[in-house]
Amino acid sequence: MAIRSKITLDLAFPSFLWKLLVREQLTELDIKSFDLPTANFITHLGNLYNSLNENVFDSNVKKESVLQELLSLLQDLSWTATRCDGRTVELVNGGKDKPVTLDNLQSYLLMLTEYKINENITAIETFRSGLVSVIPEEALLLMNWDELQTIICGTKTIDIDRLCENTEYDDDVSAEDAHIILFWEVLREFSEADKSKFLRFVWARPTLPPKGVEFPQKFKMQSAVGDDATDKPDTYLPKAHTCFFSINLPKYTAKAVMREKLIYAINNCTEMDADFRLQDADVNGWNNIM
């Protein structure tokens, strides 16, 4: 849906999943994207083992120190692995009772790496088969993993200039209005996290479409609604319409006020149009008032 409809989704998938979707080869580094402790363990053991075999030490004391650390780590290590659900599995028959030694450490690390990479391969292949039933597999294979991620999730860095170029203004609002100029100044000074929150506030999406992909709709700047919002703009919050990618922006009189109101709105007003439902206690309270 994201690819065909040109929308972006906030899917925090690890790199190894994206790579499997486009059939890109995995390495032990990809384990870091979903199991950091195991990845660090493999890397540390591998570095210690390689340093001993490559004899990179300038003294026997340092070599002995590394050897003792390595032997200490191997002391209670067997040919097993911990699954993502916490269960322990054997890498070979009788692996629970087979110790890892200096002689077989390299084979153990290779087998552990292969197991972790393929641990969820059945589920991922099922996921992929669903994807290629909608998107031609030939199209997927034309992309790198990060290109597919960008097409679906958008870019992590939000280009405010690009958003500005894809903005429309109502008849009673102009890009040259003082409060509009302040708005873009404040938005450009936001952190990437706050820029993403702003997009969620006005569009229910955390990112912009990737470069080269047209906006499915323009961002609309509209005046605040109501006489009080016109006469006393600094007392009102902006109002967003996520389905229409638009915002009713009061004519705030100062940059500090603009920043304060936007920050409050993006952090406290997170429901989409018509999605907010009062709790039963709140409904009863309103009924009592009525």
pLDDT one-digit tens code per residue, 108-155: 999 999 999 999 899 999 999 999 999 999 999 999 999 999 888 888
245-278 confidence digits (pLDDT tens): 999 999 999 999 999 999 999 999 766 544 444 3
User: Within 10 A of 212 (CB to CB), how many other CB atoms are there?
Assistant: 7
> Is there a single domain that holds both residue 140 and residue 166?
no
Q: Is residue 279 part of a domain?
A: no
Q: What local confidence, expressed as pLDDT, does residue 271 receive?
A: 60
Q: How far apart (Å, rounded) are the C-alpha atoms in residues 215 and 213?
A: 7
Instruction: Say if residue 280's pLDDT is above 50.
Output: no
133 and 231 co-located in one domain = no
How far apart (Å, rounded) are the C-alpha atoms in residues 186 and 189? 5
The answer as to whether 282 is a domain residue is: no
Cβ-contact 206, 12 below 8 angstroms: no
- Residues 6+ away with beta carbon under 8 Å from 217: 244, 245
pTM tops 0.85, yes or no: no
Please report the pLDDT score of residue 287 as a whole number. Answer: 35
* Of 103 and 4, more confident: 103
* Torsion angles phi and psi, residue 220, rounded to 5: -115, 130
Q: Which of 277, 245, 248 is nearest to 261 (CA)?
A: 248
Element (H, E) at 267: helix 255-268
| Same structural domain, 127 and 199 | no
Whether residue 80 contacts residue 88, with contact meaning beta carbons closer than 8 Å, is answered with yes
Do residues 114 and 174 share a domain? no
> How many domains does the chain fold into?
2
With respect to residue 277, please indicate whether it lies within any of the assigned structural domains.
no
Domain boundary among 110, 137, 153: 153
CATH number at residue 199: 3.30.2410.10
Claim to verify: residue 195 and residue 260 sit in the same structural domain: yes
Identify the weakest region by mean pLDDT among 58-62, 91-95, 243-247.
Answer: 58-62
Q: What is the pLDDT of residue 270?
A: 64
Q: How far is Cα of residue 279 from the mean position of the Cα atoms in its chain? A: 31
| Residue range 36-40: mean pLDDT, rounded | 92
**Range of weakest confidence among 186-200, 214-228, 266-280:** 266-280
